[in-house]
Chains A and B, each alone.
Chain A
Amino acid sequence: MATLDSKIPEGDLKDKWTNYKEHQHLVNPANKRKIDIIVVGTGLAGGAAAASLAEMGFKVKAFCYQDSPRRAHSIAAQGGINAAKNYPNDGDSVYRLFYDTIKGGDYRAREANVYRLAEVSNSIIDQCVAQGVPFAREYGGLLANRSFGGALVSRTFYARGQTGQQLLLGAYSALSRQIGLGNVEMHSRTEMMDLVMIDGRCRGIVTRDLLTGEIKSHFAHCVILATGGYGNVYFLSTNAMGSNGSAAMKAYRKGAYFANPCMVQIHPTCIPQHGDYQSKLTLMSESLRNDGRIWVPKKKEDAEKLRKGLITANDIPDEDRDFYLENRYPAFGNLVPRDVASRNAKERCDAGYGVNSTGNAVFLDFSYAIKRLGKDVVEQRYGNLFQMYQKITDQDPYEVPMMIYPAIHYTMGGIWVDYELSTTIPGLFAAGEANFSDHGANRLGASALMQGLADGYFVLPYTVQEYLADQFNVKRINPAENEAFQKAEKEVKEYINKLMSINGKNSVDHYHKELGKIMWNNVGMARTKESLETAIKEIKALREEFWKNVRIPGKADELNVELEKANRVADFLELGELIARDALHRNESCGGHFREESQEEGEAKRDDENFMYVGAWEYKGYNQEPELHKEPLNYQFIKVQKRNYKTGK
C-alpha cells in the first residue's frame, strides 16, 4: 500500500512556503525551452498556470472543451475573491484568513496548504489589478471590499456581480498574450480522453477533437489537470452544462487517488427548481446575504397559503416572520457558512414552512435593506443579480422577496495532491477545483477564485519546476513512434466504439437525470447509512443499464454532442458511486457532508477521534471496491474546535 506523503516542508507555519521556495530546484532558462507542459482546462487555475509557465519560458500546450478559453465556468463566479489585505483596517491578517478557511472547512483541510493560500492571496489582487481587472473602487480611488459568509471582516474584492468573469478574462488576456507570442499552443473544442503513462510517469494525453472526432496524442514532460469540479454528477447543479469529472476519473483509473469525494457543497442561495425539463440551477451570489434577510413564516398556515398562492410575502407582518438564521446564529446571522445556511433552509422546508408552490423555497428579503439604504444603493450593489433573477422568475425582487433554495454548487473533494499539488502519479498535477486541497469539508464564499488563481499564478510555477528540474534531459517523444501512446490511442478508440455500438433506446440525458435523482435524494444534503447503501445499489444497476441501452445517434468521427455527453455520463456513473461510498464510510457530519446519524441538538457533529483524516481512494478496477487510504490531519498550529457561529467568542 502506497503511503500518502503530503510533503509538507519543515518549519514554522509562517516559514514553510518561503523555505520551500528558497530551497527548491530550478530549471535554467535554456532548458525551459526544451520542456513541454500540458495544461488541461483553462479556467482560473489552468489559464493562470498556462500563462505563467509560458511566461517563464516553458513550452505549454493548453486544452479546453469550450470554443474559447474565455468561456470556462470560473466565469460564472459572481461575488468576489478573498485576500488578507486588511485595507478596511478591520483586523484582518494572513493568519485570520487562514484560520477562517480552516474553521469554515470544519477542520478537514491541511494546515500548510491553507496557510500558503492565505499568504499568496494578496499577490493575486496585485496581479489582477496590474492586468487591468476593473475591481470596484471607493470614491478616493482605492479598492472596495465587502463581507462574505464565515468571516467577521470585509476582505472580499469584487467587480460588481461578475468577479469570476473579470478574473477569468484577466487570466485569459495573459494566456492570449502567450498564445500570440507562440509560447502556448491552444487546443479549444478538444477533450482529454486519457493519460499516457511511460515508466510510471505521466507523459502526455490522448484527446478527441470535438469538431472532427479525431483522436490524437500529445507528449509533455508533465501534465496539469485544472478541469474543475464534478457537481454535475447530480445532473442539476449551478455548474455549466459541459462541466464534467471525466479528466479526474481518467486520472483516477490510471492511479491518481481521489480524495474526499463526498465533500460536495450545496449552495444556499439558488433559484428553486421549476420543472422536470430543467437543465440547470442558477446561483444567486452569496453577497446577497450581506443585505438580504432570510426568513420563512412562523405559522404553518401562512406557509400553506403562500404555497397555494392565496397570499404573498408582503401580506405577512414582521412579527409573523421567522428570521431563523438571525435567531439561531446571532453572531453571524445571515452570513453563516454555506453548509449551515443550506441545512437550515432544508430543515425549515422539511418542517412544512417552505414558501413556493413545491414547498422547497425560503425568502431572501431586500425590503429592509431598501428601507435602510434606499433603492439606489441596493441597485448599485446587486442590480445585475436582481435583473438576472427577474429574467428567470418573472418576479421583481425590489417589490417581493426572492425565493431561494439550496443547490449543488462546488466540490471540495477532488484528486488527491500533496503540498506541491502533485497527484499520486509522478508528473501529474491537479489544480483549482479539480484537486481536493484547501477547502476541507466546506468552502467559504469568495475562496474558490482565490484558490484557483493561487494554484495557477503562484504555486504551480514553483512546484512544477521542482519536478522538472531533472527532466530537461528527457527527449521529446513523438507519439506516432511510441508504443505507449499508440496503445493509449487504440484503447480510447475502442472505448468510443463500445459506446457507439450500444445503439440502445434511451438518450444520454435520460441516464444523467436518473443518476441525478438518485444522488440528490440519497447523497444530498442529509445522508444516512440506508440512503447511501441504496444509492450504491441503484447506481450500479443504472450503470449496467446505461451500457446496455444508451442511444448515441450519429458517428464517432464527426461533431457528436451526444457522444461527448455519453463519455462524461459514463464517468459520472462511476464517480457517483465513489461519492456514495466515501459518504458511507465517513460516519460523521462535517461541513457539507451531513450524516443524520451524527448530530447534536440539530447541529452537525464531527467525530475528530475517528475521522480527522483525508480519505483518498485508490481505483481497483471496474466494479471492484476501491481501496481507502488515510492521510491523517495533524493540526499543529491551531486549536481544533467545534465550529461556533452563535456567540461571537
Chain B
Amino acid sequence: MAEHTGLNLTLRVWRQENRHAQGRFETYEVKNISTEASFLEMMDILNEQLINEGKQPVAFDHDCREGICGMCSLFINGRAHGPDDDITTCQLHMRKFHDGQTITIEPWRSGGFPIIRDLMVDRSAYDKIMQAGGFVSVSTGGVPDANAIPIPKADADEAMDAAACIGCGACAATCKNGSAMLFVSAKVSQLALLPQGRAEAAKRAKAMVAKMDELGFGNCTNTGACELECPKSVSIAHIARLNREFLKANIKD
C-alpha cells in the first residue's frame, strides 16, 4: 500500500464575485491533507472549512470526478488540470504535491470562457460550435444496418482517438491565442474519417470554423500547447486534417 502522508499547504485561490467584478487572490491554509486524497477532495475540505468559518465556499465546476464528463477545469500552478499528464483535475491526486507547498489555483482564462464566479467559467461557446455542425444529419430511424458499411479498423481507431475529447476547454485555455482549434478539429476529424460523416464533411468544417471565429476564439499558430495539456491526448494531427477539410471546402466554392 502507498504511504499516507499528511500535507500542510498554502492555497492561493482566485476569488471573483461575478463576471464583471474585480477578482483577486485569497490565501488559505489547509492542514493534514492525505496524499491519497484527490485534488478536488482537498478543495472539498477547504470549502467545509470556509463554511464552518461562516465564509463563502469557493465555486468550482466538477461532476463525475472520474475524468470523463469534462466539467472540471482549473489552472493549478500554471498548468491546465495541474501538474500531471493525461488527466483531468478531478483525477489529480495530492501525492503530486509536497508538504509546505504553495498551490496557486486559477480559473480557465480565455476570451471564449467568461468567468461566472471564482473558478467557474462559462463554456457554452463549445456547445454553440457543436450546434453549428458537430453532427451527422441523421434523424432517428430509417438508417442502414450497422454492419452495412465496413470501416477499416485504423480509421475507426483514429476516429475514436479524436472522439475521446471531453470538451473541457483546456486546449483553448492553454493556447496563447485562445484558439479552440483542437476542440473543433477533434469533431471535424472524427466525422471526416468515417463514411457516415463524409457527406457533410465540407459543410461541417466551414460551419464550425465560422462559429468558432464568431465567438471570439483566436487563430491557431501551431504552438502545440493544446495537445500537451489535453487530458485525453487529442493530437494536433487532427488540426491538420481540419485545415485540409476547410481548404478543400473553400476550393470547392
- A-side residues, CB < 8 A to B, are 48, 51-52, 55, 66-73, 75-76, 85, 87, 122-123, 125-143, 159-160, 162, 164-166, 169, 172-174, 176-177, 179-180, 186, 188, 211, 238, 240-242, 274-275, 277-280, 282-283, 309, 356-357, 387-388, 391-395, 457-458, 461, 507, 509, 551, 553-554, 559, 561-562
- B253 at the A interface (CB under 8 A): no
Query: How far apart are A203's CB and chain B's nearest CB, in angstroms?
Result: 26
Find B156's partner among A51, A137, A173 (CB 8 Å cutoff). Answer: A137
**B138-156 to A contact mask, C-beta < 8 Å, 1/0:** 1111011111011111001
Q: B131 contacts A357, CB within 8 Å?
A: no
Residues of A within 8 A of B68 (CB): 75-76, 162, 164-165
For window 151-194 of B, CB contacts with A under 8 Å fall at 151-153, 156-157, 159-160, 163-164, 166-167, 190-191, 194
Which of B141, B147, B159, B194 has a CB less than 8 Å from the CB of A143? B147
Partner of B2, one of A242, A387, A394, A551: A394
- B210 on interface, CB distance cutoff 8 Å: no
Interface contact A68-B124, CB-CB below 8 Å? yes
With A134-B163, A134-B194, A559-B117: A241-B62 Cβ-Cβ less than 8 Å:
yes
Chain A residues within 8 Å of B147, by CB: 85, 87, 142-143
Contact: B57 with A461, CB < 8 Å?
Answer: no
Contact B197 A392 (CB under 8 A): no
Contact indicator B38/A461 (Cβ below 8 Å): no
Q: Which residues of B contact A387 (CB under 8 A)?
A: 86
Q: Hey, which chain B residues are within 8 Å of A159, CB to CB?
A: 160, 163
- The answer to whether B64 touches A134, judged by C-beta atoms less than 8 angstroms apart, is no
A240 touches B135 (CB 8 A): no
Question: Which of B1, B65, B167, B191 has the most C-beta atoms of chain A within 10 angstroms of its own C-beta?
Answer: B1
Q: Please give 15 more A-B residue pairs, beta carbons under 8 A apart, in addition to A70-B167, A176-B134, A562-B57.
A: A73-B64, A129-B149, A131-B196, A134-B160, A136-B160, A137-B150, A137-B151, A140-B150, A142-B150, A165-B68, A211-B116, A241-B64, A277-B41, A392-B93, A561-B59
A222 to B57, CA, bound (A): 38
A126–B149 CA distance with the chains assembled, in angstroms: 11
Stretch among B45-53, B218-226, B243-251 lining the A interface: B45-53
Q: Which residues of B contact A76 (CB under 8 A)?
A: 64, 66, 68-69
The answer, among B40, B71, B130, B140, for a CB contact under 8 Å with A67, is B71
The answer to whether A130 touches B196, judged by C-beta atoms less than 8 angstroms apart, is yes
B203 within 8 A of A: no
Q: How far is the CA of A66 from the CA of B144 in the complex (A)?
A: 33
The contact of A388 among B91, B117, B156, B167, by CB within 8 Å, is B91
Is the CB–CB distance between A134 and B136 below 8 Å?
no
How far, in whole Å, are A69 and B70 apart by their CA atoms in the complex? 11
Q: Which of B51-96 contact A (CB under 8 A)?
A: 51-52, 54-57, 59, 61-71, 84, 86-87, 91, 93, 95
B164 and chain A: residue at smallest CB distance = A162
User: Which residues in A have their C-beta under 8 angstroms from that of B194?
Assistant: 132, 134
Closest to B43 in A: A279
Once the chains bind, are B116 and A559 in contact (CB under 8 Å)? yes
Cβ of B99 < 8 Å from any Cβ of A? no
CB-based contact A173/B41 at 8 Å: no
Contacts of A240 in B (CB 8 A): 63-65, 69
Q: Is the CB of A282 within 8 A of B132?
A: no
Beta-carbon contact of A388 and B66 below 8 Å = yes
Tell which of B52, B139, B160 touches A160, judged by Cβ atoms closer than 8 Å.
B160
Tell me, yes or no, whether B29 is within 8 Å of chain A by CB.
no
Residue of B nearest to A164 (CB): B68
Contacts of B146 in A (CB 8 A): 85, 122, 125-126, 128-129, 135, 143
- Give every chain A residue within 8 A of B151 (Cβ-Cβ): 137, 141
State whether B124 touches A67 (Cβ < 8 A).
yes
Is B37 engaged at the interface, CB distance under 8 Å to the other chain? Answer: yes
Also in contact, A70 and B70, with CB within 8 A (given A132-B194, A142-B147, A274-B36): yes
Q: How far is the CA of A394 from the CA of B3 in the complex (A)?
A: 10
Q: Which residues of B are interface residues toward A (Cβ below 8 A)?
A: 1-2, 4, 34, 36-38, 40-41, 44-45, 48, 51-52, 54-57, 59, 61-71, 84, 86-87, 91, 93, 95, 116-117, 120, 122-124, 126-127, 130-141, 143-147, 149-153, 156-157, 159-160, 163-164, 166-167, 190-191, 194, 196-197
Across the interface, which residues of B come within 8 angstroms of A458, CB to CB?
140-141
| Chain B residue at minimal CB-CB distance from A177 | B135
In angstroms, how far is the closest chain B Cβ from the Cβ of A401? 13
- Given A76-B64, A561-B59: A130 touches B136 (CB 8 Å cut-off): yes
Chain B residues within 8 Å of A179, by CB: 127, 131
Q: Which residue of B has the minimal Cβ distance to A52?
A: B140
A138-B48 in contact (CB<8A): no
22 contacts between A and B (CB under 8 A): A68-B123, A71-B69, A76-B66, A122-B146, A126-B146, A128-B146, A132-B197, A133-B163, A137-B152, A141-B150, A143-B147, A165-B68, A166-B163, A176-B131, A177-B131, A177-B137, A179-B127, A240-B69, A274-B37, A275-B37, A388-B67, A507-B51
Contact A174 B135 (CB under 8 A): yes
Report how far A87 CA is from B61 CA in the complex, Å: 42
Q: Which residues of A contact B87 (CB under 8 A)?
A: 391
CB-CB nearest in chain B for A73: B64
For residue A166, which residue of chain B has the nearest CB?
Answer: B163
Query: Please, how many angstroms separate the alpha-carbon atoms of A125 and B86 in the complex?
Result: 30
- B91 → A minimal CB distance (Å): 5
Cβ of A488 to closest chain B Cβ, rounded Å: 28
The complex places the Cα of A139 from the Cα of B157 at a distance, in Å, of 11
Instruction: Kindly provide the distance from the CB of B139 to the nearest chain A CB, expressed in whole angstroms.
Output: 4
A177–B159 alpha-carbon span in the complex (Å): 20
B57, B71, B166: the one within 8 Å of A553 (CB) = B57
Query: Judging by beta carbons under 8 Å apart, are B36 and A173 in contact?
Result: no
Q: In the complex, what residues of A have CB within 8 A of residue B54's CB?
A: 553
CB contacts (< 8 Å) of A551 on chain B: these are: 51
- Indicate if the CB atoms of A507 and B48 lie closer than 8 Å: yes
Closest 8 CB pairs of A and B: A141-B150, A180-B131, A173-B135, A130-B143, A134-B160, A134-B159, A52-B140, A55-B139
| CB < 8 Å neighbour of A509 from B44, B67, B120, B136 | B44
Chain A nearest Cβ from B97, distance in angstroms? 14
* A239 (CB) vs chain B CBs: closest residue: B64
Complex CA gap A517/B1 in Å reads 25
Contacts of B131 in A (CB 8 A): 176-177, 179-180
Residues of A within 8 A of B164 (CB): 160, 162, 165
Decide: A71 near B156, CB < 8 A? Known: A125-B146, A132-B190: no
Q: Are A394 and B140 in contact (CB under 8 A)?
A: no
Q: In the complex, A62 Cα to B94 Cα: how many Å?
A: 38
| Residues in chain A near residue B4, CB distance under 8 A | 275
Query: B69: nearest residue on chain A (CB-CB)?
Result: A71
How far does the alpha carbon of A260 sit from the alpha carbon of B60 in the complex, in Å? Answer: 35
Q: Are A68 and B56 in contact (CB under 8 A)?
A: no
Q: Which of A48, A87, A126, A241 contacts B143 (CB 8 A)?
A: A126
Q: How far is the CB of B119 from chain A (nearest CB, A)?
A: 12
Report chain B residues within 8 Å CB of A55: 139-140
Closest to A48 in B: B140
Query: Contacts of B62 on A, CB cut-off 8 Å?
Result: 241
Closest A residue by C-beta to B196: A132
Rounded to whole angstroms, the CA-CA distance of A458 and B139 in the bound complex is 12
Return the contact of A141 from the options B95, B143, B153 (Cβ within 8 A).
Answer: B153
Q: Chain A's nearest CB lies how many Å from the CB of B171?
A: 15
